[in-house]
Structure 1
Amino acid sequence: MISNILSERAEAAAARYERLLASYQVLYSRALSGGVFEYVGRIAETVAEAERKARIFLEEEKDWIAKDLYEIASEAQGRVQRKLTQKDTEELTDAALEHLKLTQSFLTDELVAQLQRDIATLRRELQKATLDVRMMARANGISESEAAWRYRMDHDDLVLFHFLDRRSRKMPSRSFIRTIWRMSLLSAYNETVLFTLVDHGIDRAGVVRFEDGVEKQVDVISLSGDAPGYAAVRDTYFHPNANAYLDLEAVDV
C-alpha cells in the first residue's frame, strides 16, 4: 500500500537525520569534557565541525531526495496508467518532472533550514554552558576547570534539538524531518496522479483512503477548475500521517 511506502521512506529519512544529531551530541559532550571553557574559539571549532558534518550529510541526502521522489512519482504514474490501459510508460512526462523538481527544491530547502536551526541550537547550548561555568567560577572564587566539573555533575549534557512552529510549539527535529519528508512524498504522489489523469483527458480524481484493509473513495475533486479542487481538500485529507491519496475516480475504474 502506498501509504506504508511513504511512511517507510519518511522513517528512513528521520533515522538518517537522527544519526547526524547523535554526532552533534558527541561534539557537545566532547566540548564540555575537553575544556570548551578554556577559550571562546573552542565553541567556534565545535560549530565548524558540526557545519562540516552538515555539508556532507546534505550532499548525501540530496541523492536520497531525488531518488525517493522520482520512485514515488513513477509509482503514482504507473498505478494510474495500469488501471487505464493495462500498461505503463517508463518515464515521467516533462511536466511531471518539472513539478517534481519544485518539490525536490522545497524539501531540500526545509532540510537546510532545519540543519541551520540545529547547529544554532548547538552553538547556543555551548554558549550557555560557558557563561554558567564562568559565572560560577567567579562567584565562588574557584577555577574554571573546577566550575566545569561541578557543572557537568549537576547538568544533563543532552541537547534537545527541535523545530519551533508558528505557535511556539516544539517538535523534535527527528519528528519534523519525518513529517516534512512524508508530506513531500505524498505531494509528489498526488500531483503526479493529477498530471497523469489530465494527460489522459480525465478531469476528476478520487480521494481514496485505506480503511480496514480496503480502499474506499471518500471524496471526488475536479481537475478542470470546478470546486472542489485539490487545493480545497489538501489540508482535510492529506495531513502528514494521512493514509489517503489520489486515484482514479471510482466510476472510471
Structure 2
Amino acid sequence: MRLFMIKLGGSAISDKSRPLSYREDWVRKLGTLLVKEFKTGNRFILVHGGGSFAHPMALAYGLNRYRDHDQLIGVSLTSAVLNILSMKITLTLTLVGLPIYPLRTGSIYIIKDGKPHLLIEPMHIIELIERGVVPMLYGDVVASDEDFSIISGDDIMLDLGSKLRPSASIFLTDVPGILDTNGDVIKQLTKASIVNERSTYHIDVTGGLMKKIQSAMELARYTRTYLCAIWDLESISRILHDEEPSKCTRFLSD
C-alpha cells in the first residue's frame, strides 16, 4: 500500500478575505484526481485547515490563548463552523467518488506539554484505510494543559507523518509553492537555505508561513514533502507517481 498525506490549506479551500467562503470547485477538481489514483491502489489521509471558517471566529474570541470561561462560547462556535466545513469537504469529495471518513480532531487529539498528543493508536487510522476509506482530520480546538488550545493542520501533518511515514506529504495552498519576490517558485528549500533565501529573495517567512515551513522541514525527515497549488493537478499527479513536479517547492531535511 502506498500512502500519501495531503493537507488542504485554508487558502486552498476558502477565500480568507470572505468569512465562511468555500472553494468547492478547487476541492472537486482535486477529488476527481484523487479518485483516479485511489482506483490504482494509492491510499490517502487528508487534513484540512480552518480557512475563512475558523480563523475569524478564533480571532474574535482570542482562542490563540485560552484565558477564561467566557471563551468557551468561542470554543463551541469554532468547533461548530469547523465541523460544517469538514462536512462540506466530505460531501464534495464523496460525491465525486472518494470515500471520505471524517474524524473530529478534538476527539482524538489533545495538546500535552505544548505538543500534539494522539489519544488513539496510529494503527487505528491504518485499519480504517485498509477498510477502504479515506480518513480526514482538520485543525481544531482541543483540550490542553491550558484548558483549550488550537491544533493546526500543519501540527497534525507533522505528528501523523512522523508516525506513519507516508510515501509523500503535500501541503496544498492557493499558490504554486514558496515564492521569491519575482513571483518565481523556489524549487527546493532546506533549513540552511532559509537564511540565504531571506537575504537574497526576501521571501516572507514570518507568522503562519514560517510555522508552515518549519513543520514541513521537520516532516521532510520522514517523507518526501512538498508545497503546491491545489489547482496544479499535474504537479500533484507527478508527486503521486514518484516523480518531481515541474512546479512546487520541495522541502529537504539537512
Same fold (TM over 0.5): no
Determine which structure has more spread, i.e. the larger CA radius of gyration. Answer: 1
Normalized per residue, which structure has more strand? 2
TM-score of the superposed pair, with normalisation by structure 2: 0.30
TM-score of the superposed pair, with normalisation by structure 1: 0.30
